[in-house]
Chain A
Amino acid sequence: MTTPHLDPPRPATAPEEPAPTAARGANAGDRFFSWTAGLGLVRGDGWIGGVAAGIAARLRIDPLIVRGILVVVGLFGFPVVFLYALAWAVLPDLDGRMPLQDALRRHFEPAQVGILGLMLVGLIPLGPGLVLVGGIPQGMLTPGLGGWSALSALLVGAGLVIAAVLLFIILRAARHSARPADPGVPRTQRTASAADEAPDVSAAATGSGPAAAADAQGTDAAGFAASAPAFSAEFSPGLSPEDAPRDARVLPQSPSEPSETHTLPRSLSEAGTAESKRPHPTEDDAYAAWREQHAAWKVQDDAWRRQQQDADRAVREQARRERQERAAAFAAEAAERRRLRRVTKPRTPLSAVAVVIGVALIAGTATALWQRDVLAPARGLFVAALVFGLSMVAAGALRRRSGFLAFATVATLLAAGTAATVPVVQTLHLGTYWLAVGDSSQPPTSASDPFVQQWGDLTITALDDGVDGTVYVKKGSGSTQIMPGPLDASVRMDIDIITRDAAVDSVDLDGRGAYGYSRLDDVDGVATSRLADGRTRFTAAVGPADARTHHRIVIEQDSGFISVMRPASASSTGGSR
């Protein structure tokens, strides 16, 4: 009877809901945040911040694919980490909260520290150093320096292989996770979201629910406001008091609060007093009747409200129970799948794995200790890898899966390869090195045991310390610089250079900081001759013949650059031996 009057005012309150958000988007900062909120990207339930999960949800793909692409792109030097942190800061989460907006409103939380840290990490350019592009020194790709060396081919190949393996792993993982996830995880997500919506739907259907319950005050106020104008018009001072009770009798049907309705009769009576007319006894009866009716309506209304709230609670409870049931069913299903998998595809028992690890550790360490030299670690690791590999074979024959053993084998092999490569690289002096002729602390060289450098840069300094020295260098490619130390020292350097196609230059220093470049064979006193194997031999003497220190420098280099620094005095006094 009374409820139909409750409903009409509700639409009047509904439009008030979005109004505050519209008002909030007043200044520029809030406009920006409302723009980011409107992108349709909502940070989900992810690993870090949920940005990848949000993008995946938007694109309707597996989050693992997004994460994999981010990792691969990041390895190629794209500032993924920084952009990820930025997205974390400005994108809303499921509750619509944006960390940057919260920070601007001086509302701080731990996640903001994480974002700041991630941004700082993102500023460190570690991407290009890891793979491909930055891994190859520019000189190795320059044709003038011997073209594509074996090292550059190796680096490019390794980079491509790493990228391919990463992509393969990611795609495989994505496919793998998508298959079992299809019947399970998305369904729970779906039901979760459906359950979240359920109360609202039921609320709309029954005409109540949390939103309506929250509106209780507003609805009544609006209902009162709607009824008030007519009321005040009818109870204007010019109104006859006889009309009042009749109108007052209408009142119980309006959904006003008791306090509000309570004031009305008082204002009514006041109006009556202002007109100097006392209320008639029949009016009092009418008022009492109305009070009674209103009290009855109030009881009915409260009961109805309670019923609505109970219904809401029941719906929520039902949704929660359904969610729990589905989760339990999914967990049971997964457990059953796991159990079947354990039965039909048993793993290698933990005890067996422990035995294998123990044997590998003992055998590897014993081998490494047996002969102690630079290759000992590699030898030990290879032995351990052999043990792991054989255990894989045994596990397979005994119908057991060997996932961990395979992982251990590959990891040990990689470590062994690295351990074998390090001494080789050190022996070949790959990289930048410096040699001082006349420095007895450096290992001596001879024609049969030269300083070998396959690729890299080498600086040879001829010290003016009164100790005559000799250095023999055998190089593949790279640059070699020969200079007196210090630059203006008057050291005698007898230089012998044998090369296939290296560019041999003379750098003339005039002592005032200026340089002059010329080909070494254009310099007076430098003899060149062609050897039987097609190589060229340069014989030069730099520095005064009566110098305190005499050094002999013999360089055999295939390709690259060789430059000889000649101080001003040396260039004028240079002569043949």
Chain B
Amino acid sequence: MNEFDTDTDTDTGMIPAPPAAEAPVAEETAAPASTPRPRVRWAGIVWGIVLAAVAATGMVLTGSPDRLDDLVAIVPRLSATTVVAGILMTLGALALISGLVGLLRRAQRTR
């Protein structure tokens, strides 16, 4: 949230290339001659897909009023084993996605 309302985001944030007025400043501070172009944000893409998938699953599960009976029927079937298994699988999925994002970033950097 604070990333979004801290400072002027609307002017410079929209322009990928440095504005002409700021170019001399960059030279003065011994910055590299050409600032790299913004990269594709793979983490945002992957996590966006995952969260959108979770949201879509939730939409399907709560799709119609009679879905409540299905949801209610799930709960009595839960046991300690299934819950622990679910938690482990969730953690595994988180690790998998994080690792995937890391690999994508790595590939991007070495390219």
Interface residue ranges, A against B (CB under 8 Å): 147-150, 152-154, 157, 161, 336, 338-340, 342-347, 349-351, 353, 371, 373-375, 378-379, 382-383, 385-386, 388-397, 399-407, 409-410, 412-413, 416-417, 420, 423-424, 427-428, 452, 454, 476
Verify B68–A427 contact, CB threshold 8 A.
yes
State A344–B46 Cα separation when bound (angstroms): 20
State A373–B71 Cα separation when bound (angstroms): 14
Given contacts A388-B51, A395-B44, A403-B4, contact A373 B36 (CB under 8 A): no
Least distance between A150 CB and chain B CB atoms (Å)? 4
Verify B3–A347 contact, CB threshold 8 A.
yes
Verify B76–A454 contact, CB threshold 8 A.
yes
Verify A407–B1 contact, CB threshold 8 A.
yes
- Which residue of the partner chain, among B26, B41, B80, contacts A395 with CB atoms under 8 Å? B41
- Which residue of the partner chain, among B14, B22, B25, B31, contacts A346 with CB atoms under 8 Å? B14
8 Å CB contacts to A: which residues of B15-69?
A: 15-18, 22, 25-26, 29, 31, 35-56, 58-59, 61-65, 67-68
Given contacts A343-B12, A379-B63, A427-B68, contact A404 B49 (CB under 8 A): no
State A389–B39 Cα separation when bound (angstroms): 20
Verify A402–B59 contact, CB threshold 8 A.
no
| Sample of 7 A–B contacts (CB below 8 Å) | A152-B80, A349-B10, A379-B63, A382-B59, A386-B52, A396-B43, A413-B58
Given contacts A340-B35, A399-B16, contact A373 B59 (CB under 8 A): no
Verify B41–A399 contact, CB threshold 8 A.
yes
Asked if B84 is an interface residue, CB under 8 A from chain A, the answer is: yes
State A153–B81 Cα separation when bound (angstroms): 9
Verify A346–B38 contact, CB threshold 8 A.
yes
State A344–B13 Cα separation when bound (angstroms): 10
**Extra contacts besides A405-B44, A423-B68 (13): CB < 8 Å:** A150-B82, A153-B83, A339-B22, A340-B31, A344-B36, A350-B9, A371-B65, A385-B51, A389-B48, A390-B48, A395-B44, A397-B41, A403-B3
Interface of B: prevailing SS: helix
- Which residue of the partner chain, among B4, B26, B45, contacts A393 with CB atoms under 8 Å? B45
Given contacts A383-B59, A420-B58, A476-B76, contact A401 B41 (CB under 8 A): yes
Query: Among the interface residues B4, B7, B37, B42, which one has the most CB atoms of the partner chain A within 10 A?
Result: B4
Least distance between A332 CB and chain B CB atoms (Å)? 9
- Which residue of the partner chain, among B9, B58, B87, contacts A382 with CB atoms under 8 Å? B58
Verify B47–A392 contact, CB threshold 8 A.
yes
- Which residue of the partner chain, among A154, A394, A454, contacts B83 with CB atoms under 8 Å? A154
A427 cross-chain contacts in B, Cβ below 8 A: 68, 72
Verify B80–A150 contact, CB threshold 8 A.
yes
Verify A406–B35 contact, CB threshold 8 A.
no
Given contacts A339-B12, A342-B12, contact A409 B65 (CB under 8 A): no
A345 cross-chain contacts in B, Cβ below 8 A: 38
B1 cross-chain contacts in A, Cβ below 8 A: 404, 407
Verify B75–A375 contact, CB threshold 8 A.
no
State A378–B37 Cα separation when bound (angstroms): 40
Using CB atoms, name the residue of chain B closest to A419: B62
Verify B82–A343 contact, CB threshold 8 A.
no
Verify B80–A149 contact, CB threshold 8 A.
yes
| The 3 residue pairs across chains A and B that have the minimum distance between CB atoms | A392-B48, A389-B52, A396-B44
- Which residue of the partner chain, among B39, B51, B59, B78, contacts A379 with CB atoms under 8 Å? B59
Given contacts A336-B25, A374-B68, A391-B48, contact A402 B55 (CB under 8 A): no
State A536–B44 Cα separation when bound (angstroms): 57
B42 cross-chain contacts in A, Cβ below 8 A: 396
Verify B58–A375 contact, CB threshold 8 A.
no
State A70–B84 Cα separation when bound (angstroms): 29
Least distance between B10 CB and chain A CB atoms (Å)? 5
Asked if B79 is an interface residue, CB under 8 A from chain A, the answer is: yes
Verify B65–A385 contact, CB threshold 8 A.
no
Given contacts A343-B12, A397-B40, contact A420 B71 (CB under 8 A): yes
State A157–B59 Cα separation when bound (angstroms): 25
B29 cross-chain contacts in A, Cβ below 8 A: 336
A161 cross-chain contacts in B, Cβ below 8 A: 87
B26 cross-chain contacts in A, Cβ below 8 A: 340
A390 cross-chain contacts in B, Cβ below 8 A: 48, 52
B18 cross-chain contacts in A, Cβ below 8 A: 343
Least distance between B55 CB and chain A CB atoms (Å)? 4
A406 cross-chain contacts in B, Cβ below 8 A: 44, 47-48, 51
A405 cross-chain contacts in B, Cβ below 8 A: 44, 48
Verify B3–A409 contact, CB threshold 8 A.
no
Least distance between B25 CB and chain A CB atoms (Å)? 7
Least distance between B72 CB and chain A CB atoms (Å)? 5
Verify A378–B62 contact, CB threshold 8 A.
yes
Verify B12–A385 contact, CB threshold 8 A.
no
Using CB atoms, name the residue of chain A closest to B48: A392
Fill in one digit per residue for B86-108: 1 if any A CB lies within 8 Å of its CB, else 0. 01000000000000000000000
B54 cross-chain contacts in A, Cβ below 8 A: 385, 389, 413
- Which residue of the partner chain, among A152, A371, A383, A420, contacts B61 with CB atoms under 8 Å? A420
Least distance between B34 CB and chain A CB atoms (Å)? 11
A417 cross-chain contacts in B, Cβ below 8 A: 58
State A417–B39 Cα separation when bound (angstroms): 33
Least distance between A252 CB and chain B CB atoms (Å)? 62
Verify B51–A346 contact, CB threshold 8 A.
no
B59 cross-chain contacts in A, Cβ below 8 A: 379, 382-383, 386
Verify B55–A413 contact, CB threshold 8 A.
yes
Verify B41–A396 contact, CB threshold 8 A.
yes
State A383–B56 Cα separation when bound (angstroms): 7
- Which residue of the partner chain, among B9, B12, B44, B84, contacts A402 with CB atoms under 8 Å? B44
Least distance between B7 CB and chain A CB atoms (Å)? 7
Given contacts A153-B84, A382-B58, A427-B68, contact A351 B10 (CB under 8 A): yes
Least distance between A343 CB and chain B CB atoms (Å)? 5
State A110–B46 Cα separation when bound (angstroms): 50
Using CB atoms, name the residue of chain B closest to A158: B87
State A149–B10 Cα separation when bound (angstroms): 52
Using CB atoms, name the residue of chain B closest to A160: B87
B61 cross-chain contacts in A, Cβ below 8 A: 420
